[in-house]
Amino acid sequence: MLGPPAWAAVAELARAPAQTCVLTDFDGTLAPIVGDPADANALPGALDVLHRLARRFGTVAVVSGRPAAFLVPRLALGEGRSPLRAYGSYGAERAGPDGHVTAPERAAHEAEAIEAAARELEAGLPAGVEVERKRWSVALHWRNAPAERERAEHLATATAGRHGLSPRPARMAVELVLPAAPDKGSAVASLAAGARAACFLGDDSGDLPAFAALDELHDRTAAYTSRIAVASDESPPDLLRAADVVLDGPATALAFLAAIADRAAAR
């Protein structure tokens, strides 16, 4: 299931667990993509592997575009299992091992822009396209109506321009985000600072800033870093080109994380 590049990464990441940072996305990486985003859950066994890693490795966290409050129950944070953490909304929100979520306050005009854009999207939706409200963005999903992609993208771009938001591509979706909204790169840079080795697993264009943060860490400190793409039929080519390791879907991503945990336990 894991090829030679993956096993080479496992060996490096398990070499010094206390000085290693293991970071991963959620949707499409730990959790299979589903028709309704609200129904997403990690694969069976994924939480056991994550908490096992977090008890032994220096830093283990999930960095996702999802709100942190969405991630807390799905990662079993607050149950005393491990020091696992979650960064939601591309790093704008944080949930600690105790499950407590912290986030900066939005200005009134930012909240108004998000809500106004959401209402405008809902008023012009093609059939089968759905709006997902988030604290720092609003997402437009066409997974259940793939033929409407062009119309949905046009609607999103026009709406973003009218409300001072920026379109951010995602899998079968686009997010309209506040101009100053963070990306995953800032979260990864903060979490991996000082690590001897670090990796990030992701499946979409929104994970490219995380890959870039690992590149910067390697260039600055010579730390071992591994950019890991979790591939599917929907994988953006730029993500696959940027990856050091390509894994075939969430089940293989889980096998990769389990292999790191097993190798570290055997040392």
Residue 19: exposure state from Cβ atoms within 10 A (0-12, 13-18, ≥19): middle
Six-digit token string for 134 = 């988030």
Amino acid at 93: E
Active site residue 25: yes
**Catalytic option among 25, 27, 203, 204:** 25
Name the DSSP letter for residue 117: H
Look at the block and give the residue holding tokens 């809500």. Answer: 115
Cβ contact 51:69 at 8 Å:
no
Instruction: Give the phi and the psi of residue 116 in degrees, each rounded to 5.
Output: -65, -40
d(CA 241, CA 78): 37
Six-digit token string for 238 = 């730029």
Residue 227: exposure state from Cβ atoms within 10 A (0-12, 13-18, ≥19): buried
Instruction: Give me the active site residues, please.
Output: 25
